[in-house]
Amino acid sequence: MATQQAPPRGTVRIEAPDNDRKDSYWVAPTAILATFAVFVIYSTIRAFMGKYYSTYYDGHSFAWMAANLRGASAIRPHYWSPFYSPYIPGYFPFLKALKIGSWPLSAALYVMVFPLAFRASCYFCRKTYYRAVFRDPEACAVKEKFARLNYTGETKLPARAVNLHRYTFYIAVILVIFHWYHLYNAFFYSQYGQTHFGVGLGTIIFLVDTVALTAYTFSCHSWRHLVGGVINRYSRAKSRFKVWSGVSKLNEYHGQFFWISLVTVLIADLYVFLVSSGRITDIRFF
Amino acid sequence: MEKVTLRVFRGDKTGGEMVTYEVPKVPGMVVLDAIHQIQKEQDTTLACRWNCKAAKCGSCSAEIDGKPRLMCKTSVDEFNGQPITVGPMRAFPLLRDLVTDVSWNFKMAAKIPPLQVLPEMEGKPFVLQQVDVDRVQEYRKCIECFLCQDVCHVIREHNRKDAFFGPRQMVRIAGLEMHPADRINRREQLKAEAGVGMCNITKCCTEVCPEHIRITDNAIIPLKERVADDYYDPVAGLLRSIGVLPREKKAPFNSVPNEQTKIAAQGTGKKGG
């Protein structure tokens, strides 16, 4: 009879020879890594750009806007980039004067840290970047290059900070409210100084983005816990059980909502950039 | 007659090699059938653990083409005539061929106190509504095949058996922590010796579970959130301390009688070797 003891620290796993995975397990983490790279590069450029984030005045007059939005006869759709929403310097005007050297501080930098924190501490996103970026593990049952006995998971800082995911969720809810505000505005356009109801391609993009972001936010695991996951006896909390059941159903698709909203928010910002910089004209349906 | 080619690990803790066998293919054949065919016709010394051949006993866990799977639930047709590689679970000490010593799992299970019934329910028949036990019933589907323990990189790659009980035990603790009749605060154990913080949510346990228990989403993450309530949420802690939020109602973990966990020293289990 072999030993009943657990193997001592330092004992490596059984190296049964030649039984590695034969499927293309590396495709998914590689594709995810490429997607993340595209998003990070694009959003970094846009975050520091500091212009082309609005297609209409909305109470704020930007120098770059006058140069690229043509005269009063042109249709000006009411689009505002999600990367610059909410427009913090609009509420705190002294921020407009802040500079890094001679470079004015972009309004996006005050905002983007919050969705970044929400996504970075998201339970689904953690899976994707632990696999694709840190290769810890790259895929299931695949040998890790950096297997180590001092592995601590999420028990030490900075990884332990992900336990505060619920606070990033609270802020994400505020951002979602602003998304809906910008979606509402996107159903209007200006011409000859008058505001009219209408729908353009940007409106559709904003609609899809806002719905995707709302679904992603409210399918969050922390939200699921807060609305009812903490309860043990649902027969005494029937209304919370109903809400928890609904969130649980949404939660099954949390990963899909994560990817969809990541892509749609990029497309929404890109579309606003293209229109506001004069590279394309908004496609109007009515 | 069409043949199935298998490359099966043969060896013990001193070493081993892959040995190639060919067996006749029959309709509906699973990998366990092929292993049994080898045992019957070609090599009676081939060791493998099995019992029900119906994916319910959790005995025939192995790694097939590198993936942790039940041999009785893996059809040979999946492999399109290619050789099928079958090896033991790599996270546990090897006994012989496809058989590993999984007793560590039972020792960890023994550290988890069984249900400690609420005082008002003690000695009476359990009267619980279905809605109260629906969530817990998912955890009770576990057949203890330990594929989740095998695939968990904390155990398999980093060998942190000293700091993490593993996904199977997280499911067990979830079933007790969320049980409407349990009176013990199990979050203390979760944060300490059970090591829920060691899990980094890569969901491999969920991917391999033959019972399709959503281990990560429905057990580990809810447990992490409960631990966050107690240990990481500063506002909740403040509100609890000034009485705005209710204080902990469950009994402390150390109130469990010691004899409840003494089985840990005996090292027994249904598949403990």
Complex ipTM value: 0.89
Shared domain check, B109 and B41: no
Verify that B181 and B158 share a domain, yes or no.
yes
Let me know whether B186 and B91 are in one domain. Answer: no
Whether residue B24 is contained in a domain is answered as: yes
Residue B229 lies in a domain: yes
Residue B31 CA to chain centroid, in angstroms?
Answer: 21
Q: Do A164 and B156 touch (CB under 8 A)?
A: no
Contact (CB, 8 A) for A99 and A50 = no
Paired residues of A105 in beta bridges: none
- B83 part of a folded domain: yes
B271 located within any domain: no
* Assigned token pair, A242: 């109903």
- Number of folded domains that form chain A: 1
What does the DSSP assignment read for B167-226? HHHHHHHHHHHT-TTB-B-THHHHHTTT-GGG-----HHHHH-TT---IIIIIIHHHHHH
pLDDT digits (tens, 9 = 90+) for A240-274: 999 999 999 999 999 999 999 999 999 999 999 99
pLDDT given for residue A67 in this prediction: 65
- A170 CB neighbours in chain B (<8 A) are none
pLDDT of A270 reads: 97
* Residue A283 placed within a domain: no
Give the HSE-up count for residue B19: Cα atoms under 13 Å, Cβ half-sphere.
13
Q: Is A122 left (phi over 0), alpha (psi -120 to 50) or beta?
A: beta
Residue B216 phi/psi, 5° resolution?
Answer: -70, -50
Cβ-nearest to B132 among A6, A143, A235: A235
pLDDT at A17: 63
By the 8 A CB rule, do A28 and B204 touch? Answer: no
Does B269 reside within a domain?
Answer: no
| Whether B86 and B114 share a structural domain | no
- The reply to whether A188 falls in a domain is yes
Residue of A nearest to B9 (CA): A16
**The total number of residues written for chain B in this structure:** 273
Compute the average pLDDT of residues A19-37.
Answer: 92
- Does residue A55 form part of some domain? yes
Which CA distances in Å does A165 have to A58, A123, B148, B215? Answer: 33, 9, 26, 20
User: What does the pLDDT look like over B16-49, one tens digit per residue?
Assistant: 899 999 999 999 999 999 999 999 999 999 999 9
pLDDT beyond 60 at A11: no
Question: Rounded CA gap, A128 and A117, in Å?
Answer: 15
pLDDT tens for residues A104-146? 788 888 899 999 999 999 999 999 999 999 999 999 999 888 7
CA distance B183 to B186: 9
CA A16: distance to chain centroid? Answer: 41
Higher-confidence residue of A5 and B187: namely: B187
Is residue B173 located within the same domain as residue B146? yes
- pLDDT, average across residues B129-135: 92
Side-chain-side CA neighbours of residue B145 (13 Å): 34
Q: Does some domain include residue A6?
A: no
SS3 A86: coil
Q: Flag whether B272 is in a domain.
A: no
Q: Is A96 helix (H, G, I), strand (E, B) or coil?
A: helix
Residues 46-75 of A with CB under 8 A from B: none
Whether the per-residue pLDDT at B192 is higher than 50: the answer is yes
Check: CB of residue A207 under 8 Å from CB of residue A285: no
- Tokens 């005007």: give the residue: A93
| Residues B66, A22: C-beta atoms closer than 8 Å | yes
In this predicted structure, what is the pLDDT of residue B246? 80
Residue B226's CATH number: 1.10.1060.10
Note whether A158 contacts B: Cβ–Cβ < 8 A: no
Amino acid identity, position A96: K
The pLDDT value given to residue A13: 56
Residue B163 burial (C-beta neighbours within 10 Å; 0-12, 13-18, 19+): buried
Burial classification of residue A284, based on how many CB atoms lie within 10 Å of its CB (0-12 exposed, 13-18 middle, 19 or more buried): middle
Closest CA to B110 of B264, B271, B255, B272: B264
Q: Which residues pair with B30 in a beta bridge?
A: B75
Which domain does A118 fall in, by range?
27-276
Domain identity same for B143 and B243: yes
Report the distance separating Cα A266 and Cα A213, nearest Å: 12
Query: Is B45 a member of any domain?
Result: yes
Q: What per-residue confidence (pLDDT) applies to B85?
A: 95
Strands B3-12 and B84-87 come out as parallel
pLDDT score recorded for residue A93: 79
Select from B129, B214, B134, B107 the least CA-distant residue to B167.
B214
CATH code of residue B93: 3.10.20.30
How sure is the predictor about B255, in pLDDT bands with cuts at 50, 70 and 90? confident
Task: Choose the mutation target among A9, A19, A219 for the interface with B, i.e. most B CBs under 10 Å.
Answer: A19
Per 3-state DSSP, chain B is made up of helix, strand and coil in percentages (nearest 5) of 40, 15, 45
State whether B92 and B152 are in the same domain: no
B202/A153 touch (CB, cutoff 8 Å), yes or no: no
Residues B117 and B77 in one domain: no
**pTM confidence score:** 0.91
Contacts A–B by Cβ distance under 8 A: 189
Residues spanned by the domain of B234 = 103-254
Query: Does A215 fall in a domain?
Result: yes
**% of chain B residues with pLDDT over 90:** 78
Q: Average per-residue pLDDT in chain B?
A: 91
**Poorest-confidence range of A21-25, B47-51, B262-266?**
B262-266
Look at A62-66, B149-153, B252-256 and tell me which has the smallest mean pLDDT. Answer: A62-66
Look up residue A99 and give its amino acid: K
On whether both B89 and B115 belong to a single domain, the answer is no
Determine, for residues B160 and A151 on separate chains, whether the beta-carbon distance falls below 8 Å: yes
Contact across the interface for B131 and A234, Cβ inside 8 Å? yes
Distance from CA of B142 to the nearest CA of A (A): 20
- So what's the pLDDT on residue B261? 60
Residue A221 contacts B, CB cutoff 8 Å: yes
pLDDT of residue A214: 98
**Segment B259-266 mean pLDDT:** 53
Question: How confident is the model over B90-114, as a mean pLDDT?
Answer: 93
Burial class from Cβ neighbours inside 10 Å (0-12, 13-18, 19+) for residue B247 reads exposed
The pLDDT of residue B69 is above 50: yes
Query: Tell me, what's the pLDDT at A20?
Result: 83
Separation in Å, CA of B10 to nearest CA in chain A: 9
The rounded distance, in Å, linking the Cα atoms of A75 and A57 is: 12
- Contact of B167 with B220, CB cutoff 8 Å: yes
Could you read off the pLDDT of B155-184 as tens digits, one per residue?
999 989 999 999 999 999 999 999 999 999
Query: CB neighbours of A141 closer than 8 A, spacing ≥ 6?
Result: A21, B63, B66, B67, B68, B90, B150, B151, B156, B204, B208
Query: CB atoms < 10 A from the CB of B55, how many?
Result: 17
Q: Is residue A2 part of a domain?
A: no
Q: Hey, are the CB atoms on B273 and A149 less than 8 Å from each other?
A: no
Q: Is residue B49 domain-shared with residue B129, that is, in the same domain?
A: no
Quote the minimal CA–CA distance from A51 to chain B in Å: 38
> Which chain B residues are within 8 Å of A144, Cβ to Cβ?
153, 157-158
pLDDT tops 50 at residue B268: no
Q: How far is B52 from chain A (nearest CA, A)?
A: 24
A130 contacts in chain B (CB < 8 Å): 200-202
Q: What is the mean pLDDT of residues A198-226?
A: 97
Structure confidence at residue B9 as a pLDDT band (50, 70, 90): very high
Write the DSSP string, A39-71: HHHHHHHHHHH----BSS-TT---HHHHHHS--
Share of chain B above pLDDT 70, in %: 94
A215 or A146: whose pLDDT is higher? A215
The token pair at A197 is 């109801």
Question: Residues B161, A144: contact at Cβ < 8 Å?
Answer: no
The answer to whether the beta carbons of residues A218 and A177 sit under 8 Å apart is: no
For residue A1, is it within any domain?
A: no
Residue of A nearest to B15 (CA): A16
B268 within some domain: no
Integer-rounded Cα radius of gyration of chain A = 24
Tokens of A181: 């505000």
- Please name which of B163, B152, B268, B147 lies closest in space to residue B209, comparing C-alpha atoms: B147
The whole-angstrom separation of Cα A245 and Cα A254 is 14
Question: In the predicted model, what is the mean pLDDT of residues A54-68?
Answer: 75
**Two structure tokens written together for B271:** 């598949």
Name the residue facing A14 among B88, B103, B225 (closest C-beta). Answer: B88
Number of independent structural domains in chain B: 2
Task: Please report whether residue A226 resides in a domain.
Answer: yes
Picking from B85, B100, B115, the residue at the C-terminal end of a domain is B100
State whether B45 and B154 are in the same domain. no
Residues B82 and B169 in one domain: no
